[in-house]
């Protein structure tokens, strides 16, 4: 269209400058009529060419105008689409923020649920331990903590130790806080005897007649005294504050052999008591008269 405009401009300019002068010259210069007719025909061609170019230019201008309107319409549609896109993008950002908030809330809930599950599991473990202790207590008639008030005496002196099952008395007045075969605190090691919680310096009695074969401090047992009762039977008295007997001393049932203490590393003062046969521990409660 620019090229057409330039060509048409030049043509119209020459036409404007020359005006109708050329036609008058052709008619008035006395030339040959045939030549004049030919030139008039040529001028007709030129006029039709100019008219064609002008019409083409008008058509192009109309097309340009229509295209411009269409472009404006498309631009308006694009602007609307961009505005809609921004609105949707804003909505998506809002949804993302809401989703993040929901995820944070869910994470907090999951954390709380995990803590709750952990608490429930710990409660279940404590309940299982309690039931285990209750089962252990119920397995022994008169279960629970045994409070011992009876002390040994010499009434069974002379009887073989194996005949004293169910007749013995515990060596000190106190409370049996740990039984044979139960687990030690915070450990998988089992008690091989009894721990009788008692006030410090109470007298510890020999459960039967015998002879002292060990009387010294031993790691984990404190001041320990061991009495041989014959035929492989021995009684052990540990955690004492003081030992009153020495190796070789002959004892009668009920003789005082030591004083209660806590030299074995126990938090409570008391006596650790074992019975053994040929070196193997067995439950002293099965040999005690009063349950």
Residue 71 has pLDDT above 70, yes or no: yes
The Cα 242–Cα 263 span in angstroms is 9
Tally of CB atoms within 10 A around 200: 11
φ/ψ of residue 196, rounded to 5? -105, 110
Q: Sketch the domain layout of the chain as residue ranges.
A: 2-84, 146-287
The Cα 230–Cα 276 span in angstroms is 11
The Cα 291–Cα 288 span in angstroms is 7
Residue 122 has pLDDT above 90, yes or no: no
Using one digit for the tens of pLDDT, what is the confidence trace for 213-270?
Answer: 999 998 888 999 999 999 999 999 999 999 999 999 999 999 999 999 998 877 789 9
What percentage of the chain carries pLDDT values higher than 90?
A: 43
Token pair 């020459």 is found at: 14
CA-based end-to-end distance of the chain: 124
**Mean pLDDT score across all residues of the chain:** 83
Tally of CB atoms within 10 A around 230: 13
What percentage of the chain carries pLDDT values higher than 70?
A: 82
pTM of the model: 0.51
In degrees, rounded to 5, the angle at the alpha carbon of residue 254 between the alpha carbons of residues 249 and 259 is 75
Which CATH topology does 146-287 take?
Answer: Glucose Permease (Domain IIA) (2.70.70)
The Cα 114–Cα 127 span in angstroms is 19
The Cα 57–Cα 208 span in angstroms is 138
The pLDDT, as a whole number, for residue 182 is: 75
Using one digit for the tens of pLDDT, what is the confidence trace for 21-32?
Answer: 555 565 566 666
């Amino acid at each position: 269209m620019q090229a057409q405009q330039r060509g048409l401009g030049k043509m119209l300019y020459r036409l404007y400058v020359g005006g109708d002068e050329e036609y008058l010259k052709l008619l008035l210069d006395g030339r040959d009529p045939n030549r004049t007719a030919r030139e008039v025909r040529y001028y007709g061609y030129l006029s039709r060419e100019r008219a064609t170019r002008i019409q083409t230019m008008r058509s192009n201008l109309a097309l340009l105008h229509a295209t411009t309107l269409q472009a404006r319409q498309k631009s308006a549609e694009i602007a609307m689409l961009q505005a809609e896109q921004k609105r949707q993008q804003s909505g998506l950002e809002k949804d993302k923020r809401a989703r993040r908030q929901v995820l944070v809330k869910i994470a907090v809930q999951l954390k709380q649920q995990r803590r709750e599950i952990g608490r429930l599991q710990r409660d279940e473990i404590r309940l299982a331990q309690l039931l285990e202790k209750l089962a252990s207590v119920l397995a022994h008639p008169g279960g629970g903590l045994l409070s011992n008030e009876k002390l040994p005496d010499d009434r069974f002196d002379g009887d073989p130790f194996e005949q004293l099952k169910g007749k013995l008395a515990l060596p000190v007045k106190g409370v049996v806080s740990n039984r044979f075969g139960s687990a030690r605190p915070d450990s998988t090691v089992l008690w091989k005897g009894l721990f009788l919680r008692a006030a410090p310096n109470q007298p510890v009695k020999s459960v039967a007649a015998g002879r002292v074969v060990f009387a010294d401090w031993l790691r984990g047992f404190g001041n320990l005294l061991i009495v041989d009762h014959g035929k492989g039977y021995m009684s052990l008295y540990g955690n004492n504050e003081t030992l009153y007997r020495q190796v070789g001393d002959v004892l009668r049932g009920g003789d005082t052999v030591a004083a209660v203490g806590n030299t074995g590393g126990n938090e409570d003062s008391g006596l650790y008591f074992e019975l053994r046969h040929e070196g193997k521990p067995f439950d002293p409660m099965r040999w005690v008269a009063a349950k």
